[in-house]
């Protein structure tokens, strides 16, 4: 424990600076709480730029290890070597959010596949649900390698572990895998049960969001939810059984990747023929040509996973796909886009 003042009890003026009188350990503790609850990167950076002491203690290992996911919510246009260095400091401090975010950026955006996988694996081994699910998607697609590098069983195992941690997308993905016999022995009833559970968790999420935003307001049958510049009027009920799905919380790194490949340095790859996942909240790009599967009805949209396909179908694609096929597909279980054809990797 360190005192910042050499003569704490010596009265030199009529007024004391009580901040300077605080022990370093106490300031670090306060900063770690602030970093874990910061609502944006700028909020945390403003604290560091307040004075030299806060700048020094704000980069303490404990403070960086507690930084929340929103501290890493940066825009693609703001990416720089200084930002990269800050991420590495947080990774070295053991911050799992930094490991996951930097891992995704290195793997997909900077094309440093080995380092990106290593960072995501580091977070996954500490039970980071998002990292587990992202690794599952990589295994399902063989991302960063060839078609032969797919490992469906590993993808299912990673989804199962993420679903136990309450990850809704992983739970939905696992349900579709069991229902279709994809990477695991087919069990339709268990797959449907997991899909129902995923939708129940979604409904609970919406109820909490609505009641916390307006406690005196009762939950209506429909509400307007926003994906940045895209608005969807959706009903916060079950998504796979004829109802519209609620908009979940999107991870900052997903927005980063979409911006990187749509308007940032990665747009050159998109022009060259690679595609982004059509689900607006995903942002994952192909790492090789024809890596993602396409809609079997219109052939105009592509998805990295069954979870993204199911969500996008209820949010948007149901209204854009071929009208002649929509009625028949809804009667077959509402998975959207004609279901999944496991015999052809390019069709969902």
Question: Which residues in 197-211 are b (16+ Cβ under 10 Å) and which e?
Answer: bbbebbbebbeebbe
Q: Which residues on neighbouring strands pair with residue 231, listed in sequence order?
A: 226
- Going by C-alpha positions, the residue among 89, 78, 138, 94 that lies closest to residue 114 is 138
Contact 222, 200 (CB under 8 A): no
Place of tokens 């590993």: 154
What pLDDT does residue 220 have? 42
Q: Is 146 exposed, middle or buried (0-12, 13-18, 19+ CB in 10 A)?
A: exposed
Q: In the Cβ-directed half-sphere of 3, how many Cα atoms lie within 13 Å?
A: 7
**DSSP letters along 275-316, please?**
-B-SSTTT-PBPSSTT-SEE-TTT---EESSHHHHHHHIIII
* pLDDT band, very low/low/confident/very high, at 226 (cuts 50, 70, 90): very low
What pLDDT does residue 296 have? 79
Q: Which residues on neighbouring strands pair with residue 233, listed in sequence order?
A: 224
Q: Is 80 exposed, middle or buried (0-12, 13-18, 19+ CB in 10 A)?
A: exposed
| End-to-end C-alpha distance for the chain, whole angstroms | 60
* pLDDT band, very low/low/confident/very high, at 89 (cuts 50, 70, 90): very high
Q: In the Cβ-directed half-sphere of 219, how many Cα atoms lie within 13 Å?
A: 15
Rounded CA-CA distance 296/339 in Å is 8
CA angle 282–326–320, rounded 5-degree value: 50
Place of tokens 């303490």: 60
Q: Is 190 exposed, middle or buried (0-12, 13-18, 19+ CB in 10 A)?
A: middle
What pLDDT does residue 88 have? 95
Q: Residues 197-224: what's their mean pLDDT?
A: 63
Q: Which residues on neighbouring strands pair with residue 155, listed in sequence order?
A: none
List the chain domain ranges: 24-67, 76-330
* pLDDT band, very low/low/confident/very high, at 347 (cuts 50, 70, 90): very low
CATH architecture of 76-330: Alpha Horseshoe (1.25)
pLDDT tens-place string over residues 287-328: 998 899 888 788 788 999 988 888 888 778 878 786 444 444
Q: Is 70 exposed, middle or buried (0-12, 13-18, 19+ CB in 10 A)?
A: middle
SS3 state of residue 293 = strand
Question: Which of 16 and 167 is assigned the larger pLDDT?
Answer: 167
pLDDT of 270 higher than 70: yes
Contact 121, 139 (CB under 8 A): no
Question: Which of 115 and 281 is assigned the larger pLDDT?
Answer: 115
Q: Is 38 exposed, middle or buried (0-12, 13-18, 19+ CB in 10 A)?
A: buried
* pLDDT band, very low/low/confident/very high, at 2 (cuts 50, 70, 90): low
């Amino acid at each position: 424990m360190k005192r910042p003042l050499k003569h704490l009890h010596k009265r030199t003026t009529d007024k004391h600076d009580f901040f300077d009188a605080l022990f370093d350990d106490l300031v670090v503790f306060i900063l770690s709480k602030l970093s874990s609850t910061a609502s944006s990167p700028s909020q945390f950076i403003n604290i560091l730029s307040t004075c030299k002491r806060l700048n020094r203690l704000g980069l303490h290992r404990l403070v960086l290890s507690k930084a929340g996911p929103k501290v890493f919510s940066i825009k693609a246009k703001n990416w720089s070597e200084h930002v990269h260095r800050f991420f590495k400091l947080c990774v070295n401090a053991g911050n799992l959010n930094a490991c996951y975010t930097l891992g995704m950026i290195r793997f997909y955006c900077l094309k440093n596949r080995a380092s990106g996988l290593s960072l995501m694996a580091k977070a996954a081994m500490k039970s980071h649900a998002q990292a587990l699910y992202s690794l599952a998607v990589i295994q399902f697609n063989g991302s960063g390698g060839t078609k032969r590098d797919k490992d469906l069983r590993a993808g299912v195992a990673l989804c199962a572990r993420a679903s136990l941690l309450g990850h809704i997308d992983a739970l939905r993905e696992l349900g579709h895998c069991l229902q279709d016999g994809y990477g695991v022995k087919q069990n339709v009833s268990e797959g449907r049960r997991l899909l129902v559970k995923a939708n129940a968790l979604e409904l609970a999420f919406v109820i909490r969001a609505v009641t916390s935003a307006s406690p005196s307001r009762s939950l209506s049958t429909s509400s307007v939810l926003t994906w940045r510049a895209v608005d969807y009027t959706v009903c916060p009920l079950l998504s796979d059984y004829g109802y519209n799905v609620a908009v979940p919380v999107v991870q900052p790194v997903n927005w980063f990747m979409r911006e990187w490949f749509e308007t940032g340095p990665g747009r050159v790859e998109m022009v060259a023929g690679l595609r982004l996942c059509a689900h607006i909240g995903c942002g994952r790009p192909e790492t090789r040509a024809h890596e993602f599967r396409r809609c079997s009805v219109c052939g105009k949209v592509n998805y990295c996973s069954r979870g993204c396909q199911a969500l996008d179908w209820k949010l948007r694609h149901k209204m854009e796909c071929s009208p002649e096929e929509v009625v028949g597909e809804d009667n077959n279980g509402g998975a959207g886009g004609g279901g999944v054809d496991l015999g052809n990797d390019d069709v969902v």
